[in-house]
Amino acid sequence: MPERRTVALVTLGCARNEVDSEELAGRLEADGWQLVEDAADADVAVVNTCGFVEAAKKDSVDALLEANDLKDHGRTQAVVAVGCMAERYGKELAEALPEADGVLGFDDYADISDRLQTILSGGIHAAHTPRDRRKLLPISPAERQESAAAVALPGHGPADLPEGVAPASGPRAPLRRRLDGSPVASVKLASGCDRRCSFCAIPSFRGSFISRRPSDVLNETRWLAEQGVKEIMLVSENNTSYGKDLGDIRLLESLLPELAEVDGLERVRVSYLQPAEMRPGLIDVLTSTPKVAPYFDLSFQHSAPGVLRAMRRFGDTDRFLELLDTIRTKAPEAGVRSNFIVGFPGESESDLAELERFLNGARLDAIGVFGYSDEEGTEAATYADKLDEDVVAERLARVSRLAEDLVSQRAEERLGETVRVLVESVDEEEGVHGRAAHQAPETDGQVLLTSGAGLSVGRMVEAKVVGTEGVDLVAEPLTGSLACSEEAGR
Cα–Cα dist 237/35, whole Å: 28
Closest CA to 22 of 124, 227, 174: 174
Q: Strand pairing partners for 184?
A: 231
Does residue 233 contact residue 220 with C-beta atoms inside 8 Å? no
* Residue 197 assigned as binding residue: yes
Closest CA to 76 of 42, 122, 33: 42
- Count, in order, helices (H) and strands (E) of the chain: 15, 18
Cα–Cα dist 245/207, whole Å: 14
Buried-exposed string 458-471: b where 16+ CB fall within 10 A, e elsewhere? bbbbbbebeebeeb
DSSP reduced 3-state for 468: strand
Cα–Cα dist 137/146, whole Å: 9
Cα–Cα dist 13/60, whole Å: 9
Q: How many other C-beta atoms lie within 10 A of the C-beta of residue 17?
A: 22
Does residue 192 contact residue 241 with C-beta atoms inside 8 Å? no
Q: What does the DSSP 8-state code read for residue 426?
A: E
Cα–Cα dist 366/444, whole Å: 5
Cα–Cα dist 22/11, whole Å: 10
Cα–Cα dist 131/135, whole Å: 9
Does residue 101 contact residue 119 with C-beta atoms inside 8 Å? yes
Does residue 445 contact residue 439 with C-beta atoms inside 8 Å? yes
Closest CA to 311 of 299, 320, 321, 319: 299
Cα–Cα dist 233/140, whole Å: 28
Closest CA to 182 of 448, 442, 1: 442
Does residue 166 contact residue 157 with C-beta atoms inside 8 Å? no
Q: Strand pairing partners for 475?
A: 449, 465
How many residues are there in the chain? Answer: 490
Residue-wise DSSP of 252-318: HHHHHHHHHTSTT--EEEE--B-GGG--HHHHHHHHHSTTB--EEEB--B---HHHHHHTT----HH
What are the phi and psi torsion angles at 464 (to 5°)? Answer: -105, 130
* Residue 484 assigned as binding residue: no
* Residue 200 assigned as binding residue: yes
Q: How far is CA 455 from the centre of its chain?
A: 27
Annotated binding residues for [4Fe-4S] cluster: 14, 50, 84, 193, 197, 200
Binding residues: 14, 50, 84, 193, 197, 200
